[in-house]
Amino acid sequence: MASKHGLGRGLSALINEKPVAAETPGPSPINAVTPPEGITSVPVDKIRPNPKQPRRRFAPEALEDMVRSIQTHGVLQPLLLRRIGDYYELVAGERRWRAARQAGLETVPAILKDVNDRDALELTLIENLQREDLNPVEEAEGYHSLTEQFALSHEEIALRVGKARATVTNALRLLALPEEIKHMLVNNRLSAGHAKALLGVAIDEEKCFLARRAVEEGWSVRVLEKAVERLSRAPRKPRAMRDDIPAAHLQDLSDKLHRHFGTSVRLVPSRTLANGKKAKGLIEIDFYSNEDLTRILELFGLSDQG
């Protein structure tokens, strides 16, 4: 595994905490020799985004705010770049670069760093994960990339991005959610708290059903947690009971009743519950006409004439 060159300390280890030097007028030639750790001015159109950048979505409102700030104050924090052939690849600062382009700047301040593919990717992931504006899915995918490509444990990732280990673990669990719910997270229709509550539901269809209700009805995380709790609550165990008439004797009685009344008779025995209480029994006698009913009543010694 490639050495980390102090990557665990984050970007602050790569950029000195000093005021940004004044930008050099005009774009710097692509082959200009500049100090590796120095700040230089780089043409905006010579910069390319990192294809493995974990951020997939840049909120237009936030980008517009940054554009206005850059138009007023310029780019105050340099981008971190590495040279690839005849262009520069972003290691950190894609949103600043996008805003600078949108603001019409021709050059931006940058620090050039000579890093290999693995270190560049780790720096890109860590720089983004240290920010607070990733959506929960982007954050989880960033952690996943660090575990898959660098074999980092949850504890190691937490140290690198400056977050609690439980935060990393809980974020990674969100990747197991159905795509429908992850889409809701990306679009800020559900929060990470809602998603965490839905992980307690075993069946994906039920997860999605509750997620839709939470969105449509504006449920808080607490309301959703209660719904999940109700859904997941184990059903009551059936009450222990025993029939008061043994099965063999019950069949014998049913046969005698059938012969006596000349029709189908169903006999359900009474039952004794575990708490000692009784559950009622039942006798059902079939008849198919008024004459048949009169015959059965006469067998009971009754008359249908009142």
Task: Indicate which residues carry an active-site annotation.
Answer: 94
Of 129, 135, 132, the C-alpha closest to 152 is: 129
Instruction: Give 17's Cβ-side CA count (13 Å radius).
Output: 2
Query: Are the C-beta atoms of residues 274 and 268 closer than 8 Å to each other?
Result: no
For residue 8, CA distances in Å to 35, 122, 268 come to: 23, 9, 74
Q: Measure the CA–CA gap between 227 and 222, rounded to whole angstroms.
A: 9
Q: Measure the CA–CA gap between 90 and 49, rounded to whole angstroms.
A: 5
Long-range residue pairs from 45-48, CB within 8 A, at least 24 positions apart, any chain: 46/86, 46/87, 46/88, 47/79, 47/81, 47/87, 47/88, 47/89, 47/90, 47/97, 47/108, 47/110, 48/84, 48/87, 48/88, 48/89, 48/90
Q: Measure the CA–CA gap between 265 and 287, rounded to whole angstroms.
A: 10
Q: Measure the CA–CA gap between 292 and 211, rounded to whole angstroms.
A: 59
With b for 16 or more beta-carbon neighbours within 10 A and e for fewer, the 227-240 pattern comes to: bbeeeeeeeeeeee
Of 191, 198, 160, 195, the C-alpha closest to 13 is: 160
3-state secondary structure of 252: helix
